[in-house]
């Protein structure tokens, strides 16, 4: 059995955390491929190494002395090395970094050094081989990830290697220039490696015991989701729920490799298993609740709208011409409402209103701002009748007015629109009716 294990910055912030990670890896012979992030915060007011590198590099390119800042970064790594009892010396690597910073190697190079150095430390600590991600993960000259070329290179490079550390977050363009994924991209590296080695499981170790049913800042100690499908995860991630970098999902989904979200500080917890599909029955009717604020609605009314061929297309064309994406479009016989991102809409508000009048000649246009959308997601909703009714009942009991409801044809999610001031109360009400009252 082969497992790829990725550890986030909080899991590798100190020597003590490194030791936890080492114990986790050594406890399972299948954990053969390790993808580390850069050291994160050791305590609340601490600074992540990646942020220290950005600051140091920007000081260098501004022509100001940066050696003291670089020395502080070196001290962070030395503290970990000494805490692990290693004889490793990174003087040579830091000499190269100093030279590259002075030469203006770029933000991506600067940011990537945190993972690069941590990968060297991790390989030394575990006794694993080290593979520089810049040698096996490729981007084109425009910075677009080259999936096929990367998969080929990784498969070839790792085929004869039993136990390997590949640092996360970065790769290189074809000319050798270092290129990073977006922030949190170590998740993506882990998924790419897992696909390349045909892993049986991709374990993503972080500081939470899996994917929570809802935001713990809104509901105290929400339940952990034991098993979730990729489709459910996609719906929740779109509405703001984040544990895993979104781009990390697709390589694994395509290869049929499950993901296990685990907690480095509580390795006994089973975490959340993310799978393509499952016969496992969910613990509750719903899997998760997520939402976003900051929406506006454009309510369009016109008599005999339903008889006017192309009306919806013309309306949506106005938004497209103004470069605005659409969130939801609930409609009636003579009415149509378009939900959009409020901040983006405000910049082009009058152009869009004028465009609508010219294009479809509506009887009235009404705008409403400061709205929130909440997604209630769950594969169990298909088998349980009355889910929408229970949502409405919970919201009515909490004295919350529903502005919009939209149920996907997959019966996997129901999206509800409410006023922003009711956002947190609405999430708590839905959580209570489906989770708290069932425990």
For residue 214, tell me if it sits in a domain. Answer: no
Whether 44 and 151 map to the same domain: the answer is yes
Q: What is the full DSSP assignment across 24-91? A: HHHT-TTEEEEEE-----SSTT---HHHHHHHHHHHHHTTS--HHHHHHHHHHHHHHHHHTT-----H
Q: What is the full DSSP assignment across 343-400? A: HHHHHHHHHHHHHHHHHH--SEEEEEEEEEEEEEE-GGGTTSTTHHHHHHHHHHHTT-
For residue 405, tell me if it sits in a domain. Answer: yes
Q: Tokens for 93?
A: 């690597």
For residue 275, tell me if it sits in a domain. Answer: no
Instruction: Report the alpha-carbon distance of residue 114 to residue 168 in Å, rounded.
Output: 9
Whether 313 and 166 map to the same domain: the answer is no
Alpha carbon 214 to its chain's center: 15
Q: What is the pLDDT of residues 309-326, one digit of tens each?
A: 999 999 999 999 999 999
Question: Residues 226, 270: contact at Cβ < 8 Å?
Answer: yes
Instruction: Report the alpha-carbon distance of residue 167 to residue 36 in Å, rounded.
Output: 5
**Predicted pLDDT of residue 280:** 80
Q: What is the pLDDT of residues 86-119, one digit of tens each?
A: 999 999 999 999 999 999 999 999 999 999 999 9
pLDDT beyond 80 at 206: yes
Could you give the number of structural domains in the chain?
Answer: 2
Instruction: Report the alpha-carbon distance of residue 39 to residue 165 in Å, rounded.
Output: 15
Residue 383: domain span: 288-438
Whether 292 and 203 map to the same domain: the answer is no
Report residue 417's pLDDT band, with 50, 70 and 90 as the boundaries.
very high
For residue 234, tell me if it sits in a domain. Answer: no
151, 182, 207: which is the final residue of a domain? 207
For residue 266, tell me if it sits in a domain. Answer: no
207, 224, 249: which is the final residue of a domain? 207
Instruction: Report the alpha-carbon distance of residue 262 to residue 273 in Å, rounded.
Output: 9
Weakest-pLDDT range from 68-82, 139-153, 273-287, 364-378: 273-287
Report residue 406's pLDDT band, with 50, 70 and 90 as the boundaries.
confident
Residues whose CB falls within 8 Å of the CB of residue 15, separated by 6 or more in sequence, listed in order = 79, 80, 82, 83, 84
Instruction: Report the alpha-carbon distance of residue 430 to residue 278 in Å, rounded.
Output: 25
Q: What is the pLDDT of residues 159-177, one digit of tens each?
A: 999 999 999 999 999 999 9
Report residue 439's pLDDT band, with 50, 70 and 90 as the boundaries.
low
pLDDT beyond 70 at 409: no
What's this model's pTM, rounded to 2 decimal places? 0.86
For residue 356, tell me if it sits in a domain. Answer: yes
166, 190, 207: which is the final residue of a domain? 207
Residues above pLDDT 90, as percent of the chain: 83
Cα dist. 7→193, 210, 326, 351 in Å? 14, 14, 36, 47
**Predicted pLDDT of residue 234:** 82
Average pLDDT over residues 290-319: 95
Residues whose CB falls within 8 Å of the CB of residue 11, separated by 6 or more in sequence, listed in order = 17, 20, 21, 37, 40, 205, 206, 207, 264
**Predicted pLDDT of residue 248:** 80
Question: Residues 349, 319: contact at Cβ < 8 Å?
Answer: no
Instruction: Report the alpha-carbon distance of residue 114 to residue 395 in Å, rounded.
Output: 47
Cα dist. 31→4, 16, 243 in Å? 6, 20, 21
Whether 64 and 162 map to the same domain: the answer is yes
Report residue 131's pLDDT band, with 50, 70 and 90 as the boundaries.
very high
Weakest-pLDDT range from 74-83, 238-247, 392-401: 238-247
Residue 295 bridge partners (DSSP)? 341, 371
We report the CATH number of the domain holding residue 25 as 3.40.1160.10
pLDDT beyond 80 at 48: yes
Instruction: Report the alpha-carbon distance of residue 20 to residue 14 in Å, rounded.
Output: 10
Instruction: Report the alpha-carbon distance of residue 422 to residue 399 in Å, rounded.
Output: 9
Whether 176 and 297 map to the same domain: the answer is no
Alpha carbon 419 to its chain's center: 26
Whether 310 and 419 map to the same domain: the answer is yes
Q: Tokens for 392?
A: 């409405």
Question: Residues 246, 181: contact at Cβ < 8 Å?
Answer: no
Whether 187 and 318 map to the same domain: the answer is no
**Predicted pLDDT of residue 410:** 66
**Predicted pLDDT of residue 312:** 94
For residue 419, tell me if it sits in a domain. Answer: yes
For residue 98, tell me if it sits in a domain. Answer: yes
φ/ψ bin of 85: left (φ > 0), alpha (ψ from -120 to 50), beta (otherwise): left
Whether 47 and 143 map to the same domain: the answer is yes
Whether 192 and 306 map to the same domain: the answer is no
Weakest-pLDDT range from 174-188, 190-204, 294-308: 174-188
pLDDT beyond 90 at 249: no
pLDDT beyond 90 at 247: no
Q: What is the pLDDT of residues 357-402, one digit of tens each?
A: 999 999 999 999 999 999 999 988 877 788 889 999 999 999 999 9
We report the CATH number of the domain holding residue 344 as 3.30.2130.10
**Predicted pLDDT of residue 39:** 97
**Predicted pLDDT of residue 54:** 97
């Amino acid at each position: 059995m082969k497992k790829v294990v990725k550890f986030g910055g909080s899991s590798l912030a100190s020597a003590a955390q490194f030791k936890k990670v080492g114990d986790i890896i050594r406890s399972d012979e299948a954990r053969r491929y390790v993808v580390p992030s850069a050291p994160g915060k050791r305590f609340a007011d601490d600074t992540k190494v990646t942020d220290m590198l950005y600051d140091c590099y920007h000081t260098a390119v501004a022509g100001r002395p940066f050696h003291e800042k670089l020395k502080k970064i070196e001290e962070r790594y030395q503290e970990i090395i000494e805490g692990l009892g290693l004889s490793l010396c990174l003087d040579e690597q830091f000499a190269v970094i100093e030279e590259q910073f002075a030469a203006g190697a770029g933000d991506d190079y600067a940011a990537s050094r945190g993972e690069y150095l941590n990968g060297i430390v991790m390989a030394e600590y575990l006794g694993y081989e080290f593979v520089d991600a810049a040698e096996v993960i490729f981007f084109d000259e425009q910075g677009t990830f080259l999936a096929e070329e990367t998969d080929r290179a990784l498969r070839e490079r790792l085929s004869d290697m039993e136990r390997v550390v590949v640092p996360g977050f970065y790769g290189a363009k074809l000319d050798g220039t270092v290129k990073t994924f977006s922030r949190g991209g170590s998740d993506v590296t882990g998924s790419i490696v897992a696909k390349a080695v045909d892993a049986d499981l991709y374990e993503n170790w972080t500081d939470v015991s899996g994917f929570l049913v809802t935001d713990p800042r809104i509901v105290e100690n929400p339940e952990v989701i034991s098993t979730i499908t990729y489709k459910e995860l996609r719906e929740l991630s779109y509405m703001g729920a984040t544990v895993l970098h979104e781009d990390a999902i697709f390589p694994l989904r395509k290869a049929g490799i499950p993901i296990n979200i685990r907690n480095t500080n509580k390795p006994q917890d089973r975490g959340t298993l993310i799978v393509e599909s499952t016969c496992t029955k969910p613990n509750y009717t719903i899997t998760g609740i997520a939402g976003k604020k900051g929406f506006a609605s454009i309510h369009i009314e016109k008599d005999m709208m339903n008889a006017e061929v192309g009306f919806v297309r013309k309306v949506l064309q106005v938004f497209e011409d103004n470069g605005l994406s659409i969130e939801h479009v609930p409609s009636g016989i003579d009415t149509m409402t378009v939900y959009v991102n409020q901040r983006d809409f405000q910049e082009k508000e009058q152009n869009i209103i004028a465009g609508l009048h010219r294009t479809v000649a509506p009887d009235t246009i009404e705008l409403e701002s400061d709205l929130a959308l909440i997604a209630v997601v769950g594969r169990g909703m298909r088998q349980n009748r009355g889910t929408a009714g229970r949502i409405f009942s919970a919201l009515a009991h909490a004295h919350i007015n529903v502005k919009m409801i939209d149920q996907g044809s997959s019966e996997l999610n129901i999206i509800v629109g409410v006023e922003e001031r009711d956002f947190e109360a609405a999430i708590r009400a839905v959580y209570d009716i489906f989770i708290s009252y069932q425990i």
